[in-house]
């Protein structure tokens, strides 16, 4: 307890005398935590969307104006089994689009760019190659403008997720390393500026570990402050974007909300400990 009180005293004294030096570590750490939370949220939401899309084998057949839905259904049924189908008029398709993307719908105004389409449902476990072959034949039928197979979208989303994880993971790692180095440098400067005070304490019988506590404490406090600042920025932006894009951004599991600040605290304490050992 005495060590913590002494550490708080040194930290507050340094903060009052040189508060500007704490701004850069706080800014970099809060940015790192902010980016990390968004990376985790985007990955989590993308995984849920892929799981949702991949749980059902569906395809949409977009029709040209005046095309017969019955002829298209007869053609596809002659090639592959269906568990069901549903015709979606342009008005109904526009209503679904407006519910999912209200901002984009309002930007388009009264113009409805969505053609009539048919939603095809395939049996679970159906051979994907057989479905693709049947849909490729369906594209050649007169009156069919386009065919979108949901599994192909899932495959593209999985590829996108893999690239996103690579780039996002590298960026998070880079920001985390920068945060650790900046906090370690700040602590090293603090240790150097108080070296005579530490020497005096050690001459009076204090252990080197006791004289290092304030600086490790300093790194931990900066890490906690930066992580909670980043968390606050993330939650504010999340609440705004969740209203703008309803249905996509899913809530993060509670585990992330406390494990990320805990990880930031660990990085701060570790970098501070290494800096005090070096000096």
Q: 10-42: per-residue pLDDT in tens?
A: 555 555 555 556 677 788 888 888 888 888 888
Q: Tokens 């693709």 sit at which residue?
A: 132
DSSP 4: H
How far lies 231's CA from each of 5, 26, 226, in Å? 27, 13, 9
Q: Are 190 and 278 in contact (CB under 8 A)?
A: no
pLDDT band at 4 (very low <50, low <70, confident <90, very high): low
The answer to whether 84 touches 57, Cβ cutoff 8 Å, is no
| Token pair belonging to 111 | 């113009």
d(CA 259, CA 266): 10
pLDDT digits (tens, 9 = 90+) for 159-206: 888 888 888 888 888 888 888 888 878 777 766 666 656 665 666 555
CA atoms within 13 A on the CB side of 116: 14
Distance, CA of 259 to CA of 179 (rounded, Å):
17
In angstroms, the CA 132 to CA 152 distance is 9
Q: Could you tell me where the beta strands, DSSP code E, fall in 41-157?
A: 58-63, 84-88, 117-121, 144-149
User: Which pLDDT score is estimated for 88?
Assistant: 84
pLDDT exceeds cutoff 60 at 3? no
pLDDT above 70 covers a percentage of the chain that reads 75
Question: What is the Cα–Cα distance from 173 to 40, expressed in whole angstroms?
Answer: 13
DSSP string, 146-193: EEEEHHHHHHHHHHHHHHHHHHHHHHHHHHHHHHHHHHHHHHHHHHHH
Residue with tokens 């494990």: 259
Sheet holding 117-121, edge to edge: 84-88, 117-121, 58-63, 144-149
Which tokens belong to 276? 């005090």
User: Distance between CA 64 and CA 146 in Å, rounded?
Assistant: 9
d(CA 11, CA 4): 10
- What is the set of domains in the chain, with CATH numbers? 2-51+156-278 (no CATH), 56-155 (3.30.70.3040)
Residue 143 has which token pair? 């009156």
Residue 21: what pLDDT? 65
d(CA 98, CA 100) in angstroms, rounded, equals 5
Rounded to an integer, the average pLDDT of 52-77 is 77
Tens-place pLDDT, residues 225-260? 888 898 889 988 888 887 777 666 778 888 878 888
- Percent of the chain as helix, strand, coil, to the nearest 5: 75, 10, 20
**Is the pLDDT reported for residue 268 higher than 60?**
yes
What confidence category does residue 267 fall into, taking pLDDT thresholds of 50, 70 and 90?
confident
Element (H, E) at 81: none
Look at residue 126 in the predicted model and tell me its pLDDT: 73
């Amino acid at each position: 307890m005495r060590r913590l009180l002494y550490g708080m005293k040194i930290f507050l004294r340094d903060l009052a005398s040189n508060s500007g030096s704490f701004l850069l570590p706080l800014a970099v750490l809060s940015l790192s935590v902010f980016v990390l939370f968004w990376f985790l949220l985007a990955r989590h939401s993308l995984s849920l969307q892929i799981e949702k899309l991949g749980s059902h084998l569906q395809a949409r057949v977009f029709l040209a104006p005046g095309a017969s839905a019955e002829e298209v259904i007869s053609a596809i049924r002659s090639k592959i089994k269906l568990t069901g189908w549903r015709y979606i008029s342009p008005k109904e398709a526009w209503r679904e689009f407006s519910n999912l993307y209200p901002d984009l719908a309002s930007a388009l105004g009264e113009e409805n760019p969505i053609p009539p389409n048919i939603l095809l449902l395939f049996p679970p476990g159906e051979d994907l190659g057989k479905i693709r072959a049947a849909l490729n034949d369906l594209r050649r039928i007169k009156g069919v403008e386009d065919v979108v197979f949901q599994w192909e979208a899932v495959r593209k989303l999985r590829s996108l997720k893999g690239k996103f994880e690579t780039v996002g993971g590298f960026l998070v790692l880079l920001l985390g390393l920068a945060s650790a180095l900046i906090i370690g440098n700040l602590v090293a400067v603090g240790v150097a500026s108080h070296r005579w005070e530490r020497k005096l304490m050690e001459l009076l019988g204090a252990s080197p570990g006791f004289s290092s506590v304030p600086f490790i404490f300093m790194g931990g406090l900066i890490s906690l402050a930066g992580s909670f600042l980043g968390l606050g920025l993330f939650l504010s932006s999340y609440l705004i974007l969740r209203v703008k894009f309803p249905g996509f951004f899913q809530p993060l599991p509670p585990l992330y909300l406390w494990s990320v600040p805990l990880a930031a605290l660990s990085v701060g304490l570790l970098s501070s400990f290494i800096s005090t050992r070096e000096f």
